[in-house]
C-alpha cells in the first residue's frame, strides 16, 4: 500500500509539470529532428528505406514472405514496423535521457522524472506521422476505414505505458551503470528478430508460440495488424490483453519507484 501511495505522489508531481513537459517535448523535437537542413526528412526516410529493404529481401529476393491472407506483404510489413520503430527509438533515447541532460539534473527545482517522458513525447510526434503514412498506404491500396481503426489509440497508449515504465527504470540505472545503454541496444537488436515483424508466428509450432507471446512488443505489433488487417478487437484477446496490462503497470510502478529512490543520488554521479 505504501508503494502505491508513493507512486501516486510521483505521478501527481508529473501532472503538475504538464506545461513544462509540453514545452520540453517541443524543444526536444526541434533539437533532435530539426537541427539540420534534412533532419526531419532523414527521420522519415530512414525507416521507409529500412522497410523497403526488408520487403525487397523477403518478398522479392527470397520470395519467402509469410502468408498474409491476401493482404499485400508491404502493408503487412508496415503494420508491424511502424510500432516497432516507435518502441525501439524510444527505448534508445529514453535510456540516455538523464545522462544526456545532466545540466538539468543539478537544478534543484527541476523535476528530472519528466525527462524520459519528454523523449517519449518527441518520438510520438514522429510515430503519429508514420501512422498517417500507414493509413494513406492502406487507402491507396483500396482499403476503407473500419470501426476497428478506433482502437488504435488504445495500442498507442499501451505502448506509452510500457515505454514509460522501462525508461524510468533504465534511465535511472544508466546513471550508475554505463553498460545498461549497450545492453538495451543488444536487446533491441535481438527483439527485432525475435518479434514477428517480418515473419509470422504461425511458422512456429503451436506449443512454442506462448514463448513469443511473452514478449510485450508482440502484443503491440499484433494489435496494429488486428486494427488495420485482421479486424479483431483487443478484448477478443482477453488473456493476452490482461497479461500485457498487468505486466505494463507493474513495470510502470516498479520503474517509478526505482527512479524516485535513485533520484537523490544523480547529482553525486553526474
Q: What is the tens place of the pLDDT at every residue in 189-243?
A: 998 888 888 888 888 888 888 888 899 999 999 999 999 998 999 999 999 999 9
Residue range 106-130: mean pLDDT, rounded:
85
Dihedral angle sign, alpha carbons of residues 129, 134, 137, 143:
negative
Give the list of residues 6+ apart from residue 13 with CB closer than 8 angstroms, or none: 111, 113
- How far apart (Å, rounded) are the C-alpha atoms in residues 72 and 161? 31
- Contact assessment for residue 12 and residue 111, using Cβ atoms and an 8 Å cutoff: no
Q: Which residue has the higher pLDDT, 109 or 208?
A: 208
- pTM: predicted TM-score of the whole model, two decimal places: 0.88
Question: Who contacts 93 (Cβ-Cβ below 8 Å, separation ≥6)?
Answer: 32, 119, 122, 123
**pLDDT band, residue 19 (cuts 50/70/90):** confident
C-alpha cell at 137: 498506404
pLDDT-based confidence at residue 31 (cuts at 50, 70, 90): confident
What whole-number distance in Å separates Cα of residue 88 and Cα of residue 99?
A: 19
Instruction: Please report the DSSP string for 15-61 in residue order.
Output: HHTHHHHHHHHHHHHHHHHSSSTTHHHHHHHHHHHHHHHHHIIIIII
Residue 124 clears pLDDT 90, i.e. is over it: yes
Q: Give 234-248 pLDDT, tens digit per residue.
A: 999 999 999 999 999
Amino acid at each position: 500500500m505504501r508503494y502505491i501511495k508513493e507512486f501516486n505522489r510521483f505521478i501527481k508531481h508529473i501532472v503538475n509539470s504538464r506545461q513544462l513537459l509540453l514545452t520540453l517535448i517541443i524543444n526536444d523535437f526541434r533539437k533532435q529532428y530539426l537541427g539540420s537542413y534534412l533532419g526531419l526528412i532523414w527521420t522519415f526516410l530512414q525507416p521507409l528505406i529500412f522497410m523497403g529493404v526488408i520487403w525487397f529481401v523477403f518478398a522479392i529476393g527470397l520470395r519467402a514472405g509469410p502468408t498474409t491472407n491476401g493482404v499485400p506483404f508491404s502493408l503487412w510489413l508496415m503494420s508491424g514496423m511502424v510500432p516497432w520503430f516507435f518502441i525501439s527509438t524510444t527505448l534508445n533515447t529514453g535510456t540516455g535521457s538523464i545522462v544526456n541532460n545532466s545540466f538539468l539534473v543539478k537544478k534543484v527545482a527541476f523535476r528530472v522524472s519528466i525527462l524520459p517522458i519528454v523523449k517519449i513525447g518527441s518520438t510520438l510526434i514522429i510515430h503519429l506521422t508514420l501512422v498517417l503514412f500507414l493509413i494513406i498506404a492502406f487507402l491507396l491500396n483500396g482499403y476503407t476505414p473500419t470501426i476497428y481503426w478506433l482502437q488504435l489509440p488504445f495500442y498507442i497508449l499501451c505502448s506509452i505505458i510500457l515505454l514509460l515504465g522501462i525508461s524510468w527504470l533504465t534511465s535511472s540505472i544508466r546513471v550508475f551503470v554505463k553498460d545498461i545503454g549497450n545492453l538495451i541496444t543488444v536487446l533491441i537488436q535481438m527483439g527485432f528478430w525475435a518479434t514477428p515483424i517480418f515473419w509470422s508466428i504461425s511458422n512456429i509450432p503451436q506449443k512454442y508460440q506462448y514463448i513469443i507471446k511473452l514478449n510485450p512488443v508482440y502484443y503491440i505489433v499484433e494489435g496494429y495488424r488486428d486494427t488495420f488487417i485482421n479486424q479483431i478487437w483487443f478484448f477478443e484477446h482477453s488473456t493476452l490483453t490482461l497479461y500485457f496490462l498487468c505486466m505494463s503497470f507493474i513495470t510502470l510502478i516498479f520503474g517509478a519507484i526505482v527512479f524516485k529512490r535513485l533520484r537523490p543520488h544523480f547529482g553525486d554521479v553526474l
